Amino acid sequence: MPKRAPAELSPADTIRYQLMILRMSQRGAARALGIDSRTFRKYCAGEPVPRVIDLAMQGLIARKQLEESIALRRARSRLPGAR
């Protein structure tokens, strides 16, 4: 299940929290979402964040967590005595 920002955060704080989880820059996130970096910067500065952007950020987080989980399973399977 994707990590979600605490409910008391503002939309701008939420998107910055999501960036922190992703370990991604504003420019990198904008590129990943296919939007202009200036637009993304505005969201981080407090402009309303469209629901589709919030959902896309949650999707990026879920994908990152899945990739990390797969990498961990592969690493464990290479350990001596692993099945």
Residue 43: pLDDT band (50, 70, 90) is very high
pLDDT tens across 12-28, in order?
999 999 999 999 999 99
Cβ distance 19 to 11 under 8 Å?
A: no
pLDDT tens across 59-77, in order?
999 999 999 999 999 998 8
Residue 6 pLDDT: 64
pTM for the structure as a whole: 0.80
Residue 5: pLDDT band (50, 70, 90) is low
User: pLDDT averaged over the chain?
Assistant: 91
